[in-house]
Amino acid sequence: MASPTAPTFERRLGLFQATTVNMTQMCGIGPFVTIPVMIATMEGPQAMFGWVVGAIIAITDGLVWAELGAAMPGAGGSYLYLREAFQYRTGRLMPFLFVWSAVLFIPLIMSTGVIGLVQYAGYLWPTLVHGSGLSTPGHLVAIGVVVLVIVALYRRIGDIGRLTSVFFVVMLISVLGVIFAAFTHFSPHLAFTFPANGGSKFFTGLGAGLVIAIYDYLGYNTSAYLGAEIKDPGRVIPRSIVFAILGIMGLYFLLQVGVLGVVPWQQAEHSSSVASLVLEKAWGKGTAQIFTVGIIITAFASVFAGLLGGSRVPYNAARDKVFLSWFGRLHPRLRFPTAGLFAMGVITAIGSLFTLTDVISMLTAVFVLIQSVAQVVALTVLRRRQPGLPRPYKMWLYPLPSIVALAGWLYIYKSAGIDHILLSLAWLAAGGIAFLVWARAEHTWPFGPKEIRESFLENTGEAVHGT
């Protein structure tokens, strides 16, 4: 147990700041670089409805996060929920595997933001982009962006909360600017003239399209990762998740329709900076360059918000001795986990050296099983195992949303492709071996007794019961 003088997290983020952290993380560079991919995948303007289907999965999964985050508001998010739910049968296996996976997939998500940022910077400085990827100067800029994000995060959470509010305003101006430009030069004929067999093409490409759509919605759970730093978490965490998903869904749909109403979909699907193209067609090259700067700042903000939440994930695992101990230390004055920030920053920089599509495919296959599917199961397990757990928010229409979320995640996992499925299974197998080595060294299950710690039950505190 931590000593009384050890630094602790500060609860400084309210509803507005928590929602803006989520939305800033969600609406980074994602839609600006994936709209062309979505159009190509679904072979036409019917791609606009892919965002709606993705939002249905996101909102049902968001209700899972809302209940768990409100009931167990601590640093680490999924780590806490999987630890509490699966400790009864498999000890610390599931939280270990989650952290094992999270230190890979969370930075990879941030890598996509860095790659997209440099791609849009290539609209201003074409030497940064080479073919479908980044040039050597582009890779150097990407690494420099990661360093700048780490420097920006090296401060107290209260200061970061104010900074995310500024980023949120820039994000809104950038997205709304593109939407406004599109609808001032909007052609319904371009947007709503669907190709022959558009319906069948939509369903044929839906699986691959959802992989893209759900990637663009990722981030609605960032406030749950920051549960130890949220004021009134039982009220704020659920609302911040739901508000963020609904708000971003509206923005994405309008953005997709707007793009299709200005740029023919046959041209849009081949554009690497489609938002800048829309602005250029609507308002000219100079205005397009100005707004491109805003899009670049928006991408930076999403990486900033993602590393902010992700750096907290290994913290509780380390404090529970389920991960390297140095991840469980806070900065003595600024009170944030330095090791998590630096480690994930390094992996983000490495991931930025790959192509965007490769990184999206890798991260999606890795996180679906051990986080998304497992967490839906954890919700049901905790309702049965810990019925007395205080739940400030309980899922609406339970269990229907969790069933929809589970079906959606399994469909997305199947659609990721056999190569990426095998990659994710290999990564989990390696994690299982690492867990056995660790469990033997720690003399815990399956080489010792389980430790049942129901940390969030009222009046339970830190009581530990051996089984």
pLDDT of the residue at 60: 97
Inside any domain, residue 298: yes
What is the number of structural domains in the chain?
Answer: 1
Going 154 to 156 to 161 to 165, the CA torsion angle's sign is: negative
Q: What is the DSSP letter of 328?
A: G
More confident call, 453 vs 383: 383
Task: Report how far residue 136's alpha carbon sits from residue 133's, in angstroms, rounded to the nearest whole number.
Answer: 10
pLDDT of the residue at 333: 75
How much is the average pLDDT of 397-422? Answer: 92
How much is the average pLDDT of 408-429? Answer: 90
More confident call, 438 vs 244: 244
**Looking at the predicted structure, is the pLDDT value of residue 277 above 50?**
yes
More confident call, 467 vs 295: 295
pLDDT band at residue 458 using 50, 70 and 90 as cut-offs: low
Highest mean pLDDT among 64-68, 296-300, 357-361: 64-68
Q: How would you class 443 by CB atoms within 10 Å of its CB: exposed for 0-12, middle for 13-18, buried for 19 or more?
A: exposed
Is the previous residue joined to 449 through a cis bond, with omega within 30 degrees of 0? no
Residue 446's contacts (CB-CB under 8 Å, 6 or more residues apart) are 91, 436, 439
Residue 209 domain boundaries: 15-427
Is there a contact between 112 and 30 (Cβ–Cβ < 8 Å)? yes
pLDDT of the residue at 464: 35
pLDDT of the residue at 6: 60
Inside any domain, residue 440: no
CATH code, 49: 1.20.1740.10
Inside any domain, residue 54: yes
Inside any domain, residue 9: no
**Looking at the predicted structure, is the pLDDT value of residue 462 above 50?**
no
Mean pLDDT of the chain: 87
Is there a contact between 223 and 13 (Cβ–Cβ < 8 Å)? yes
Inside any domain, residue 232: yes
Lowest mean pLDDT among 67-71, 87-91, 172-176, 429-433: 172-176
Inside any domain, residue 438: no
Inside any domain, residue 146: yes
How much is the average pLDDT of 222-237? Answer: 91
**Looking at the predicted structure, is the pLDDT value of residue 240 above 60?**
yes
Lowest mean pLDDT among 49-53, 155-159, 384-388, 392-396: 155-159
**Looking at the predicted structure, is the pLDDT value of residue 1 above 70?**
no
Summarize pLDDT for 96-117 with one digit per residue, the tens: 999 899 888 889 988 988 998 9
pLDDT of the residue at 161: 65
Is there a contact between 299 and 28 (Cβ–Cβ < 8 Å)? yes
> What percent of the chain lies above the pLDDT cut of 70?
94
| Phi-psi map region of 255: left, alpha, beta (phi>0 left; psi -120 to 50 alpha) | alpha
> What percent of the chain lies above the pLDDT cut of 90?
44
Alpha carbon distance, N-terminus to C-terminus of the chain = 21
Read off the tokens for 265: 């979909």
Query: Torsion angle of alpha carbons 315, 316, 321, 326, nearest 10°?
Result: 20
pLDDT of the residue at 168: 79
Summarize pLDDT for 130-153 with one digit per residue, the tens: 766 788 899 999 999 999 999 888
pTM of the shown model: 0.84
Length of the chain equals: 467
**Looking at the predicted structure, is the pLDDT value of residue 467 above 70?**
no
How much is the average pLDDT of 268-278? Answer: 86
Summarize pLDDT for 320-345 with one digit per residue, the tens: 788 777 788 887 777 778 888 888 99
pLDDT of the residue at 157: 64
pLDDT band at residue 158 using 50, 70 and 90 as cut-offs: low
Is there a contact between 444 and 456 (Cβ–Cβ < 8 Å)? no
pLDDT of the residue at 135: 86
Lowest mean pLDDT among 63-77, 192-206, 419-433: 192-206
Task: Report how far residue 142's alpha carbon sits from residue 346's, in angstroms, rounded to the nearest whole number.
Answer: 12
Inside any domain, residue 177: yes
Query: Which residue type does 39 have?
Result: I
pLDDT of the residue at 2: 43
